[in-house]
Structure 1
Amino acid sequence: MHELSICQALLKQVSNIAQDYPEHKVESITLKIGPLSGVEPLLLEQAFPLAAAGSLVDGAKLIIENLPVKVCCLQCGAESKVLPNRLLCQHCGDWRTKLQSGDEMLLASIEFIQ
């Protein structure tokens, strides 16, 4: 389960940021994850409490926002939202597309409370 190591790396990054706010507690962490990122959101949610236990982030809520897969057609130039296993242009149907989004995992925000 590589999601545990992803959580550990995420928590290290969040802990480094949290050190700049020593009088605050991390309330929530928001991630944006695309379906082609190679990360399984459900497994990440399950691994998060284990990785966070005893750290500065212990008790924080993990919020995951799913990102769509978007492609840009190399023929007609249209940008389309597509299914992860069907990267065809939704405008002209061409298969020659370039992935614009959907393969990322981003730390979108950290919410602190006093």
Structure 2
Amino acid sequence: MHEMSVALSVVDQVERAARPGGAHGVRRVVVEIGELAGVVPDALAFCFELACAGTLLEGAELATRFLPGRASCAPCGRTWDTGMPPDMLCAVCRGGAGELLSGRELRITEVHWSASPTTPDPTPVPQPEES
């Protein structure tokens, strides 16, 4: 299951970011998932819970934001939702997509740290974008 490797990678990245700041725990991780990324959000949530066991992230919530696949037509400039499976032909001029604008994203966008073992910090800390 490919979602397990994604979940393990998320846990690893968040733990590496937590060490220099001395974080005591993680309450919530927000991940953007593109429609064309090949990741099933429910499967990722299940794997994330397993991957967090025994780590700084144990008990953390995983929130996902869905990003639709979007393409643009080089000949006429129209943009459209590609859907799944992706439709890469322009409905207006039947030209091929000149550019895939979105849909392949898979990145951590927010981590909500616990300030101490007993006092949660309500302020999210943005993480660098990774695709």
Question: Same fold judged by TM-score > 0.5?
Answer: yes
What corresponds to 1:11 in structure 2?
11
Q: Deviations over 1:21-41 (max 9, x none)?
A: 214421100000012101111
Q: Does 1:113 align with 2:114?
A: yes
Misfit runs of 4+, over 3 Å: none
- Taking only the aligned residue pairs, the percentage that are identical comes to 32
Query: Normalising to structure 1: TM-score of the pair?
Result: 0.89
- Once the two structures are TM-superposed, the CA of residue 94 in structure 1 deviates from its matched residue by 2.1
Residue segments in structure 1 that go unaligned for 5+ positions in a row: none
Residue segments in structure 2 that go unaligned for 5+ positions in a row: 116-131
- Once the two structures are TM-superposed, the CA of residue 52 in structure 1 deviates from its matched residue by 0.3
Equivalent pair of 2:24/2:56 in contact (CA under 8 Å) = no
The residue identity in structure 2 corresponding to 1:100 is L
Equivalent pair of 1:29/1:109 in contact (CA under 8 Å) = yes
The residue identity in structure 1 corresponding to 2:104 is D
Give the paired residue count. Answer: 113
Larger RCO: 1 or 2 (CA < 8 Å, sep 6+): 1
- Once the two structures are TM-superposed, the CA of residue 99 in structure 1 deviates from its matched residue by 1.2
Q: Distance in 2 between matches of 1:93 and 1:60?
A: 47
Q: Cα distance 1:15–1:23, how it changes in 2: closer, same or farther (>3 A)?
A: closer
Q: Deviations over 1:7-63 (max 9, x none)?
A: 111111000111122144211000000121011111101111110000011111000
Q: Does 1:21 align with 2:21?
A: yes
Q: Distance in 2 between matches of 1:84 and 1:2?
A: 19
Q: Does 1:78 align with 2:78?
A: yes
Equivalent pair of 1:30/1:64 in contact (CA under 8 Å) = yes
